[in-house]
Structure 1
Amino acid sequence: MIPLSEVIRRCEADYLRQYSATMLPSHRQALAALKLCRTAMAPRMRAVCSGCDETRLVPHSCGHRSCPHCQHFESQQWLERQARRQVPGSHFLLTFTLPAQLRALAWQHQRTLYAVLFECAWATASLFCRNDRQLQGQAGAVAVLHTHSRRLDYHPHVHLAMPGAALDPEKRLWRRRSGKRSAYLFNHRALAKVFRAKVLAALAREGLKLPPGVPAHWVVDCKGVGDGSKALVYLGRYLYRGVIQEKDILSCEAGQVRFRYRDSQTGKSAVRTVSGARFLALILQHVLPKGFRRSRNFGFLHPNSKRLIALLQNVLKVAPEPGPTWMKHRPPFRCACCGAPMRIVQRRIPAPERWRSATPTGSVTL
């Protein structure tokens, strides 16, 4: 394993030489943040022990949502919020994929195309739910945008985790799948046909010109995922912590980076070797435009429906778990001398080199 910050330190010059012309401002910000995260050059915070007089200077984490170091606690909080909204019954994971012929267009107009993906995926699922004979009501879904394949290639798609149930607000009825159809939601070919039509109409509305060769048949996957908890864990895995874990970066030598991934066809681990510059390009191409939300809730799972969810859980006699059993609270920062919790008293102290040069004569540096 090698830290991502070390890969950036070794390969940043090559990356900038090859890709600086195509870098977006969000890429430059991410590169700068990931390079300094928890390193000696990062800003520091001063921690004081509550049990003894020990004082420590600790490097700051960068807090960037693409950093494999950071945002672990935020990811757990997201999972806990989704777990609190869960309703009983079978859940399904719908995956709406943009075809390869439109990926260049998506890269050039990321904010627009990603918003279109969310809009059309939810509109398709919602339409099928209203027209279904058993459901005939409003759907609810947790949607997450992923832009990468397991090999880290550019592959934008939206996942919808939704229960096989619907709410009819006019008749005040709760309907869900039953009998043999409880393990089935919608036909994936019919979903793909409607999704394609909605995306093309949205692109025309936005005034975007379609490239040649747009396929007639798109890919939408729909499969059962039990009670939905494992699907939420899968969706939250890359929500805040980047697209690769540092344990999967195997080596960075002679300008080449080797990393491990799970092959989607065989289900086994595989290794990919690319140049250091190409590896950084693979990582940074998945940094979203500033302020763009990767996760959204729709229908009766929208945050504005908290009272409705509470009513449903009360009527259905469901006491949702506060979160997955493996979740933990943010661990306290403990003193290395006595083991007592340490308290942060000062933040954003400049790195030692800059700090010492800025220290006035006669002052004392702790």
Structure 2
Amino acid sequence: MITLAQILRDHEASLQQFVGARLRPEHHAALQSILACHTPACGEVRYHCRACQQVQQAYPSCGHRSCPACQHGTNRQWLDRQRQKLLPVDYFLVTFTLPAQLRGFAWHHLRWTCHTLFQVAREVLAQFARNDTRLGSQLGLVGVLHTHSRRLAFHPHVHIVVPGGGLTGHHWHARAGRYLFNGRALATVFRAKFLTRMREQGFTLPESIPGHWVAQCEQVGRGDQALTYLARYLYRGVLREQNIVDYDGEQVTFRYQDSQTRRWQTLTEPASRFLWRVLQHVLPKGLRRVREYGFLHGGARKTLHRLQLRLQVALPGIVTQPRKQRVCPCCGEPMGITLWRRPCRWPVPTTRRRCLA
């Protein structure tokens, strides 16, 4: 399998030349982590078999959230936690998207833009819930930030998974049918609130901002399917290494699924351009990609548990995966750890330093 680290080792210099000053501290940290993953720079673990005296060594992963070779179980763990919050109601997926004319602004003010996307999306949905007499005033929301399109272009938007119902005090009001809110109305209010936040912050609005923005609200069944889709891009970066289908040393070909036709297509481009296409989606340090609100917030566990008891929810059990024991390739006996070396540190181009631990 072609790996991102392999391409990066071959073209790190050309990437630096192609991107130049657009590389931020978080990009440098991601580059160094991906290159160090499963190498001695991430430390060393030695194993010993008492039965046949076999000795093996292994190098840990870097643990960076944008490294495609790491965090194999993290997505599954997040999805298992979300499944423990499911309700026996229809779910809706609401998507708020910034127009193309604001993507340059979003790139230069990424942290502010991402925070504001979440805040405004939450306020808009809360306002619509309060104005709907058939729906409880408090919703449960799970928001996931995406900065990429299917072709991995810079395309900031936020997906919100919403159970079809709301709370008013301790009373649950379920939403019947396949309709939650009107997408055009959501987009209108979202546009007004976001531009107001920009003015209040002192930003100058571009003259070419369109009058109509895009917001979608669709029914997605019982919610598990939508959560499974969102879990794919929470960790391990925006591109699965299995989708890198060809690399000849200069050109890289990767595949993606077209959002309209649902068919798989390929895109071929120089390695430096491909690397930047992937790395531009690395988020600044400390910026959370997932946020929860309402009765799905981590601090509202008691409210959620009471609601699940009232709705007689049968929750799926959490399957705990036992820690894998390394087995001797010669005799098949378990091997013990005889040495664990901490990962080294390397300088990062910022005032702070980051450890791979």
Q: Same fold (TM over 0.5)?
A: yes
For 1:183, what is the secondary structure of its paired residue? coil
Unaligned runs of at least 5 residues, structure 2: 345-357
CA-to-aligned-CA distance 1:193-237 (integer Å, 9 cap, x gap): 011111111112222222220111000111111110011111110
* Residue matched to 1:163: 163
* Residue matched to 1:31: 31
* Residue matched to 2:285: 290
After superposition, the Cα gap between the structure-2 partners of 1:312 and 1:250, relative to the gap in structure 1 and judged at 3 Å, is same
Q: Within 5 A, what are the aligned runs for 1:1-366? A: 1-39=1-39, 42-49=42-49, 53-169=53-169, 172-178=170-176, 182-322=177-317, 331-348=324-341
Taking the aligned partners of 2:252 and 2:132, their CA distance within structure 1 comes to 49
Taking the aligned partners of 1:161 and 1:183, their CA distance within structure 2 comes to 14
What amino acid sits opposite 1:168 in the alignment? Answer: T
Unaligned runs of at least 5 residues, structure 1: 352-366
Q: TM-score, normalized by length of structure 2? A: 0.91
After superposition, the Cα gap between the structure-2 partners of 1:17 and 1:51, relative to the gap in structure 1 and judged at 3 Å, is same
For 2:273, what is the secondary structure of its paired residue? helix
Taking the aligned partners of 2:158 and 2:67, their CA distance within structure 1 comes to 21
After superposition, the Cα gap between the structure-2 partners of 1:313 and 1:97, relative to the gap in structure 1 and judged at 3 Å, is same
Q: TM-score, normalized by length of structure 1? A: 0.89
Residue pair 1:30, 1:64 contacting (<8 A) in 2 also: yes
Residue pair 1:141, 1:297 contacting (<8 A) in 2 also: yes
For 2:73, what is the secondary structure of its paired residue? helix
Residue pair 1:51, 1:341 contacting (<8 A) in 2 also: no
Residue pair 2:141, 2:160 contacting (<8 A) in 1 also: yes
Q: Mean Cα displacement is larger for which, 44-53 or 17-26?
A: 44-53
What amino acid sits opposite 1:221 in the alignment? Answer: Q
What amino acid sits opposite 1:88 in the alignment? Answer: P
RMSD of the alignment, in Å? 2.0
Deviation at 1:104, TM superposition (A): 0.4
Deviation at 1:186, TM superposition (A): 0.7
Residue pair 1:248, 1:259 contacting (<8 A) in 2 also: yes
Taking the aligned partners of 1:51 and 1:296, their CA distance within structure 2 comes to 49
After superposition, the Cα gap between the structure-2 partners of 1:340 and 1:203, relative to the gap in structure 1 and judged at 3 Å, is farther
Residue pair 1:73, 1:330 contacting (<8 A) in 2 also: no
For 2:199, what is the secondary structure of its paired residue? helix
Residue pair 1:83, 1:322 contacting (<8 A) in 2 also: no
